[in-house]
Each structure stands twice: as structure tokens, then as C-alpha cells.
Chain A
Amino acid sequence: MSTNRQTETPMVEITDVHKRFGNLEVLKGINLTVPLGKIISIIGPSGSGKSTLLRSVNHLEVIDSGTITLDGVAVNRPDIKGLAFERHINHIRQNMGMVFQHFNLFPHLSTLDNVTLAPRKLKKMDKKIARELGMELLDRVGLADKADVFPAWLSGGQKQRVAIARALAMQPKVMLFDEATSALDPELVEEVNQVMQSLAKDHMTMLIVTHEMGFARDVSSWAMFMDGGVVVEENTPDKLFTAPDQERTQNFLRKHLGSNL
């Protein structure tokens, strides 16, 4: 990494992270820093470990060794157990917004209630104030008019925009996107990308796992190519996407840019 990157405030720091599922080692010593206000994209083939890495940051996967910190606080705490850890991880997670490939909206709640569930339950926010906050966030993703419908009535793109609004509701320090547009019909990708771009303009810190090479190149300040549980190559998006050093990166991009750009 270049020297000026090291002077930036790290929001997420991943250090020598290892993770295995049974005999299969899916993360083989990953290092990554997400500086405050920056956007890091991770690309790579299926099974490269990129989603596992992102999920590890949120502790949806438990890493075997290494450290992950959010704003200087360790996510993994093998030293604390039970309820104490539960409190710790709930607190950490409130500061991270996570967006899933399959949206995972709560189908039994209106879009507004999806967005306001966390602030109402965790901040004991008053219903009226929560509604105002929820409407503000839905407006931000362009769906204020859908506040009172159930997710089943929304298109995929709309669902994902609600999911982004939901993830923003706790005012997270970082947003994690796990292939947020991979499950969408091609014509619906753009509306989600636009929302993500608007977050970028507001200097939201983001860690993005994506198959959208064009999007990754446009918004990221740093891009990583992962394969087989290791970081094969990382660079500024301009360099990584146009003149990658490694042959594996070149082969991967040739396959993807051929169809996506």
C-alpha cells in the first residue's frame, strides 16, 4: 500500500485473518484496511473467500485466527463468552450496516417497520420519531411512497434499496455490501448502484464485495482481487482494472469485462 494510505484513519482493519470450513481453508491470511470515508471493493471468482471475509467483519462467520477491528475496537473477542460477548457483538454490529445479496427484508413488516425495527428496539426510539427517521431514510433511497407496503409488493431493486435504508438506520460507521446487486435483474442493478453512489458522495465508509466491475472501478478508492482465499493483487481501481500485474487477475478480468463492459 502507498504511504499516504497509511496516514488515513483506519475504520476497519483486518489483520492476518484465517478461516477454515472443516478441511477447507477459505481465508489464508488476509490483510486489509478500510480507511474512514473510503470505498474498498473486493472482486474475485465464486469461492474465492470474498463473501466469507465480509461476513467475518460482521461476525456472521467466526474467524479462526487474526484480528478484525472496527474503529479501533476488536470484533472478535475469544476472551469473553456468553452474555458478555453477546452484548459486545450487538454493540459492534450496531455500528456496521450490512446489505445482503438476497436482501433479507423482514417479510412480515412494512418497509417502514423494516427500517425502524432496530432503532425502535435498540435505541427505544419513540414511534413518531422513528417514523420520521424511517421516512427520511426511505426518501433517501427514493421509496418514501412505499412506506406502508409489505416487501412482497416491491421489485428486487426496490427491496435492496429498502435494505440499504434499513442498514443505515442505526447510523453505522461502515457499510458492508455482500454482492448487493448479484440477485437482481440487469435492468434493476442501476437503481441500487445509484443509491450506493449517493452514499459514496456523502463519504460513507464502504466495503463492497461485487461482481459489477464497472461499478467497482467507478466508485472505489481501492480494489482487491481475491482468489483461493488469498489477496492476489490490490491497487487503485484504475490500475487493477486496466493493467493488472498478475496473470490470475488478467484472466479473471478478461472473462468478466468481456461480458460486463
Chain B
Amino acid sequence: MVEVTPLLVKAAWVTIDISVRAIVFGFLVASALVFFRSVKFTPVRWFSRAYVSVVRGTPYFVQLLLIFYGGPTIGLDLDPFTCGVVVGAFNIGAYMSEAIRGAIESVDKGQSEASRSLGLGRLATMVNVVLPQAAGLMIRSIGVLAIVLIKNSSLVSIISVVELTYQAQRLIGSTYKPLEIFAVSALMYIVIIYAVMGIVELAYRRTTRFNAL
């Protein structure tokens, strides 16, 4: 067990790497989708809604297989790691866009009215008044989505990315100790996810520190 642990730790870093990249790019995808929803030109709004529906309506696993195996047919030839990041980002982006939009819409309308009544424009109101308050409202839902994504990252083993789950399977092939190895890898997932929960909680407190107790 001792000799395989470093290999699992190394693979856990791949899990973290692929997930963090997917979350960061996913946030950009989500921001774009939220922006598209507010555009006056109807087809753009329609695209944003359709995109979210398609992603929510299909399993992540199928999305992964579709892009990895189907992509090359239309000239989209990605290496496994990049494919994992891209599919992860576009997947979490759809869910995150709903979380962000919901948070923005939950900010009291009186807040933007007060800001506009002072003469601040739409953008200045969004940046200075609405988003700082929406941040606290969206951060926990984004945290939950991030956790789901980290766990789903075990699925990229199917396209042969050597992340935690795939490495565990490989090591079992040579050591025949499925209980120990899967238990250790499960423990590693727990450590990663608790770390994420801690970061989310800190960020939540930071963004809502203005509220009374």
C-alpha cells in the first residue's frame, strides 16, 4: 500500500488540475451565457437558453464520449486531458449560469433603483451594487456545482485521462487490493472536497460579512 500511495497522490493532482481548470473556464462560459441572456437580440438569448437545456438534458458521461469520440469527425481532435477540461467547463458553465442569473435576480430591485436614481449607469450599477451582493448569494451554489464536477471528473477515466479513479483501477490490476486502493482513493476525494467546502465557506463569509449577526 505504501508504495502505491505516491502514485495515487500524483493522480489526485491530475483530478485537482482538470477540475480547477474546468471550474475556472466554466465560470467564463457561465458569465458569457448570463450576458447572452440579457442581450436585446432575441436569437442570442434563445441560443443561451437552448444551450443550457441541452447540457442539463444530457448525461455528463454522454457529453464526454460525444466530444472525445465524435469530435474528430468534425475536426475537433482534443487530447484526453484537454477534452476533460473543455467538456467539464462547458458542462458546469451551463449550471453555473443559472446559479449566477438566479443570484443576480434575487438582489432586491430597490438596490438598482437606488443606484440608478443617483445617476449611475447600468454597468456601474451592476459592478458596484448588484454583483457584490449577488456574489454571496451565488457562492454556495457554485460550490455545490464544483463538488459535483470534481466527483464527475472520475468519469474522464473513460477517455484514458490518468486521474485518481483511473490510476486506482490500474494499480488494482497489479496489486489485487481493490478494497485498500479504492478506500484510499475515496479518502483522497473526501480530502479534496472538504478543502473545496472550506474555501467556499470562507468566500461566503467574506462576501456576506456586511450582514448583521
Please indicate whether A and B come from the same complex rather than being unrelated chains: yes
Binding site for B on A (CB under 8 A): 58, 60, 86, 90-94, 96, 98, 100, 102, 104-109, 117-118, 121-122, 150-153, 163, 166-167, 169-170
Across the interface, do B110 and A104 meet the contact criterion of CB distance under 8 Å?
Answer: yes
Across the interface, do A100 and B114 meet the contact criterion of CB distance under 8 Å?
Answer: yes
B108-138 interface mask toward A, CB cutoff 8 Å, 1 = contact, 0 = none?
A: 1011011111111110100011001100000
Contact of B118 among A109, A118, A151, A152 (CB under 8 A): A118
A-B contact count (CB 8 A): 73
Across the interface, do B210 and A150 meet the contact criterion of CB distance under 8 Å?
Answer: yes
Distance (whole angstroms) from the CB of B182 to the closest CB of chain A = 45
Contact of A90 among B114, B121, B210 (CB under 8 A): B121
B110, B115, B119, B132: most-surrounded residue (chain A CB, <10 A) = B119
Q: How far is the CA of A221 from the CA of B117 in the complex (A)?
A: 25
Q: A93: nearest residue on chain B (CB-CB)? A: B119
Contact of B114 among A91, A92, A106 (CB under 8 A): A106
Q: How far is the CA of A207 from the CA of B119 in the complex (A)?
A: 18
Q: How far is the CA of A92 from the CA of B210 in the complex (A)?
A: 31
> Can you name 10 A-B pairs with beta carbons within 8 Å?
A91-B119, A93-B118, A98-B114, A108-B133, A108-B210, A117-B129, A118-B119, A118-B120, A152-B210, A169-B118
Across the interface, do A100 and B119 meet the contact criterion of CB distance under 8 Å?
Answer: no
Q: How far is the CA of A90 from the CA of B115 in the complex (A)?
A: 10
Q: B118: nearest residue on chain A (CB-CB)? A: A118
Across the interface, do A104 and B111 meet the contact criterion of CB distance under 8 Å?
Answer: yes
Contact of B129 among A106, A153, A170 (CB under 8 A): A106
Q: Within 8 Å CB of A108, what residues of B?
A: 132-133, 210
B111, B114, B116, B132: most-surrounded residue (chain A CB, <10 A) = B114
